[in-house]
Amino acid sequence: METIFTKIVERKIPSHIVYEDDLVIAFLDITQSTKGHTLVVTKSPYENILEVPENVLKHLFGVVQKLSKGIQHAFNPLGINLLNNNGSTAGQTVFHYHVHIIPRYDKEEITIKLNDTSKTITADDYKNRAAMIIAALS
């Protein structure tokens, strides 16, 4: 599967690479939603988090932390969002696993809204949902 990210990994298209090793590559997001917006991408084209081998995912998140510290030092943002979309319903547009590191300088730059349904969920709902997840892990 060839994606825009595999083209970057293979140097078929230019990018501003800030980190690279055997498993991952990181480069500035072309959108630059905020100054320093960086993508950390698996070199192998896993479609989503469900496909990434555990050792690669652990390594990738170590790199995410390292780069977040570098971005903090370089730009001194007031906060950092980590964003990962899995599946088109979740907003994934490039089906090659990646994590966005988005430095935040102002609360109004980007809107991330989570619906609060806690007032409509019963204690039994929580109990059943937790039990379903626990059972699925077995």
- DSSP line for 61-109: HHHHHHHHHHHHHHH--SEEEEE---SGGGT--S-S-EEEEEEESSTTS
Query: Per the residue annotation, which of 59, 73, 98, 100 is the catalytic one?
Result: 98
Cα separation, 19 vs 2, whole angstroms: 21
What mean pLDDT is reported for the chain?
96
Phi-psi region of 94 (alpha: psi -120 to 50; beta: other; left: phi over 0): beta
What is the model's pLDDT at position 12? 97
pLDDT category, 19, cuts 50, 70, 90? very high
CA atoms within 13 A on the CB side of 95: 7
Q: Is 100 designated active site? A: no
pLDDT category, 124, cuts 50, 70, 90? very high
Examine the pLDDT at 1 and tell me if it is beyond 80: no
Cα separation, 25 vs 70, whole angstroms: 15
Cα separation, 93 vs 76, whole angstroms: 29
pLDDT category, 32, cuts 50, 70, 90? very high
pLDDT category, 70, cuts 50, 70, 90? very high
11 alpha carbon, distance to own chain's centre: 22
What is the model's pLDDT at position 108? 87
Interacting residues of 9 by C-beta distance below 8 A, sequence separation 6+: 25, 41, 43
pLDDT digits (tens, 9 = 90+) for 71-119: 999 999 999 999 999 999 999 999 999 999 999 999 888 888 899 999 9
